[in-house]
Amino acid sequence: MSRRRTLVTGFPSSFLARRVVQKLLAAESSTYVTCVVQAKFHARAEEALRELGDAERKRVDLLEGDIAAMDLGLSGREFRALAQEVDVIHHCAAVTYLGADRRAAERVNVGGTREVVELAEAATNLSRLVHWSTALVSGARRGYVLESELIAPSGFRNAIEETRYRAERIVLEAGARVPATVLRPATIVGDSRTGEIDRFEGPYLLVQLLLSAPSDLRLPLPGRGDVPLNLVPVDYAVDAGCAIARDPRSVGRTFHLVDPHPLTTRAVFERLAQEAGRPSPRGSVPTRVAAALLRAPGLDRLAQAPRAFLEQLGTEVVYDARNTEELLARTGIACPPFEQYVATLVDAVRLQQAARRAQVASELESVPEHDDPLEA
């Protein structure tokens, strides 16, 4: 069996990249994975590799570099060797936090993608560049968004949407020279079976708010609540994305990895409240003023949510997924309904909050007692 060399960017800082590495190693026994890792993340990368089995760990190489630097921050010899060996690239590296600094988003999302495309163009045996984009490249567009289009919206709500749109544009413009597949997941949440996630943001802010609010407080819903909130668990996104990437029919095409039957924002909030043991939301607050109005006692946590997430709750958009449905038709891979994994997501936040409380209590107990200097 011939050996395959796959480059995965974003490891280990990207939760998506870590899951893609795990999936590739588990599903493709002939695949060897190379990860370009910044020096400051090397120890973290080694720790992540220790979570793999011995046989899988031996099929991963770490190259010190920086995907946003010229030639990925590699030496000329390393870059040429990688270009000769690699046959698949999974480009997962991206700044995704909605409140991130614009310069960081520009450097990684745009500059990093440009460098990865240059490697793809130099690769002599490349069969596929898999670009992990996001459904949010549609920005503030409303209505029906096709997989086959990348239309600049009238405005972007934040630097992440804008820079990721520009990154996808770079990949599409290289399509005549590079066999590329573009994957656009909706908002990614934790594993539908274990709840595993790297950080709590986006819809998790609603969960944290519910668990932290008084048990009898009926919270208002940010926005009208009648627009779809498209969420996908990370295990579905990775399973579907890797299956699509292996399919020869995916070259030159774009795929929305979305929930085909998304719940409305109100329905999501109601199910989260039910699992959190809180009353259903009452009334609503316009998204444009939610951050300002929700500073009352018990509601101040929601005001910390990035404005972009609140605006997502008020943007009525439906993502076409016919390309995805076509290629996954006989794979058995399907996005689970939100009702199936909502309890797992809420439990993950509960466990994290409990662990944090235990840590604080432990730190307080470890503070040494001092004699009162005023006592005789």
Residue range 18-54, pLDDT digits in tens: 999 999 999 878 899 999 999 999 999 999 999 998 9
Task: Report the pLDDT value the prediction gives residue 63, as an integer from 0 to 100.
Answer: 96
Helices marked H in 123-233 — which ranges?
159-173, 204-212
Task: Report the pLDDT value the prediction gives residue 199, as an integer from 0 to 100.
Answer: 84
Condensed to tens digits (0 to 9), the pLDDT of residues 132-152 reads: 999 999 988 889 999 999 988
Confidence class for position 302, pLDDT limits 50, 70, 90:
very low
CA-CA-CA-CA torsion sign (306, 307, 310, 314) = negative
Q: Mean per-residue pLDDT for 247-257?
A: 97
Q: Report whether pLDDT(275) > 50.
A: yes
Residues 6 or more apart whose Cβ sits within 8 Å of residue 22: 52
Task: Report the pLDDT value the prediction gives residue 70, as an integer from 0 to 100.
Answer: 96
Q: Mean per-residue pLDDT for 309-319?
A: 80
Confidence class for position 306, pLDDT limits 50, 70, 90:
low
Q: Tell me, which fold does domain 4-185 have in CATH?
A: Rossmann fold (3.40.50)
> How many other CB atoms sit within 10 Å of the CB of residue 267?
16
Condensed to tens digits (0 to 9), the pLDDT of residues 87-129 reads: 999 999 999 987 788 999 999 999 999 999 999 999 999 999 9
Q: Mean per-residue pLDDT for 322-330?
A: 97
Q: Mean per-residue pLDDT for 323-327?
A: 97
Q: Report whether pLDDT(299) > 50.
A: no
Cα–Cα nearest to 138, from 317, 348, 330: 317
Q: Mean per-residue pLDDT for 177-185?
A: 97
Q: Report whether pLDDT(300) > 50.
A: no
Task: Report the pLDDT value the prediction gives residue 183, as an integer from 0 to 100.
Answer: 98
Compute the mean pLDDT over every residue in the chain, rounded to the nearest whole number.
Answer: 87
Helices marked H in 252-320 — which ranges?
265-276, 287-293, 307-312
Task: Report the pLDDT value the prediction gives residue 82, as an integer from 0 to 100.
Answer: 96
> Phi and psi for 256 in degrees, rounded to 5?
-85, 120
Domain-wise residue ranges, the chain: 4-185
> What tokens does 85 get?
């060996």
Q: Mean per-residue pLDDT for 317-336?
A: 96
If residue 32 lies in a helix (H) or strand (E), which one and from where to where? strand 31-37
